[in-house]
């Protein structure tokens, strides 16, 4: 695995996602856990587009959301985004959320 870096700044996170054609999204809580809140995630590639003619139906439990809602949850949960360091010629989509130190 490449070196990683931690992102907290909202514009840096938006830029990271945009460079990978990613959109802010929410996923259903993980089954078998006590978690009831949606899980923050990104939708990349084809999953980042929703058919506006059919409305905002979630596909596979993932639903595209707006950045304002996504960052509100990000801040409420005191999260940070860990991503792979950028390497020339490669766009890694690796990421994970951690609690801020």
| pLDDT 10s digits, 21-50 | 999 999 987 665 666 788 999 999 755 555
User: 80-96 burial string, b = 16+ CB within 10 Å, else e?
Assistant: ebebbeeeeeeeeeebe
What band does 70 get if pLDDT is binned at 50, 70 and 90?
very high
Indicate the pLDDT class of residue 95, thresholds 50, 70 and 90. Answer: very high
Number of domains within the chain: 1
Mean pLDDT, rounded, for 3-26: 96
Burial of 67 (0-12, 13-18, 19+ CB in 10 A): middle
Residue 79, domain extent:
4-99
pLDDT category, 12, cuts 50, 70, 90? very high
pLDDT at 28: 84
Better-scored residue on pLDDT, 92 or 42: 42
């Amino acid at each position: 695995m490449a070196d990683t870096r931690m992102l907290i700044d909202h514009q840096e996170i938006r830029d990271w996602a945009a460079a990978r054609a990613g959109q802010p999204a929410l996923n259903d809580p993980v089954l078998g856990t006590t978690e009831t809140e949606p899980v923050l995630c990104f939708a990349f590639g084809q999953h980042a587009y929703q058919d506006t003619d059919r409305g905002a139906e979630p596909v596979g439990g993932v639903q595209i959301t707006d950045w304002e809602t996504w960052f509100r949850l990000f801040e409420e949960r005191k999260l940070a985004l860990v991503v792979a360091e950028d390497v020339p010629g490669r766009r890694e989509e690796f990421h994970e959320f951690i609690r801020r130190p």
